[in-house]
Amino acid sequence: MNETIEVLIGEEEISRRVKEIGAQITKDYAGKAVTLLGTLKGGVIFLADLAREIKLDVFMEFIKVSSYGNESESAGKVKLEYPEKADLAGKHIIIVEDIVDMGYTASWLCNYLHGLNPASVKLCALLNKPERRKVKGVEIEYLGFTIPDEFVVGYGLDYAQKYRCLPYVGKLRME
């Protein structure tokens, strides 16, 4: 099967939006240090660009969770893979996600982090696919783009681990 990719959000559009989000965070957290908590692996590219647009003291941490079960069972079980114990007490945490899809990951992360006594927790996501949401009440404080229910790759997002390093977000088609 042939894989083709059609650009959905171009490099310049992403860059513009990342700058805007960075400026907004800089304003909202003025006088504070922020800890960007990137979700491995998808959130890494977005985090790297966003971090450099925030004109504050920025700390970087990473977390990896895995989901199991599938959509038809709507199991949505999430398991922490890394790190075993995160020391985030007292920190202003901004979770940096590539995409909020069904919402299981973001919802689990918010609950988990609240248990670690941080100063605050907010969610920042490059992409949101509201049509696919299974979990209610996931609040995305900083959002790049809302997209339709298409399989997207690039700028951190993969298909079978490929395409994460594309500078744009594109729709993957199998022909």
What are the backbone angles phi and psi of residue 101, rounded to the nearest 5°? Answer: -110, -95
User: Least Å distance between CB 57 and ligand PRP?
Assistant: 26
CB-nearer residue toward ligand PRP: 35 or 105: 105
Q: Which 125-164 positions form the footprint of ligand PRP (CB under 6 A)?
A: 158
Q: Give me the least distance between CB of 39 and ligand PRP, in Å please.
A: 5
Q: Pick between residue 12 and residue 71 the one whose CB is nearest to ligand PRP.
A: 71
Nearest to 94 by CA among 149, 127, 54: 54
Residue 17 · residue 49 · CB < 8 Å: no
Residue 28 vs residues 43, 79, 113: alpha-carbon distances, Å: 21, 31, 20
Instruction: State in angstroms the smallest separation of the CB of 117 from ligand PRP.
Output: 23
Among 48, 59, 61, 67, binds ligand PRP (CB under 6 A): 67
Dist. CA 95–CA 24, nearest whole Å:
15
Cα separation of the two ends of the chain? 6
Nearer to ligand PRP, 24 or 67 (CB): 67
The amino acid occupying position 126 is: L
Stretch that binds ligand PRP, among 1-9, 50-58, 102-110, 167-175 (CB under 6 A): 102-110
Q: What is the token pair recorded at 47? A: 């985090």
Mention every residue, 6+ apart, whose C-beta is less than 8 A from residue 57.
Answer: 33, 34
**26 lines the binding site for ligand PRP (CB under 6 A):** no
Under rule CB under 6 A, residue 88 binds ligand PRP: no
Q: Let me know if 98 is a catalytic residue.
A: no
Q: Out of 49, 87, 101, 149, which one is annotated catalytic?
A: 101
Residues that bind ligand PRP (CB under 6 A): 39-42, 67, 97-106, 158
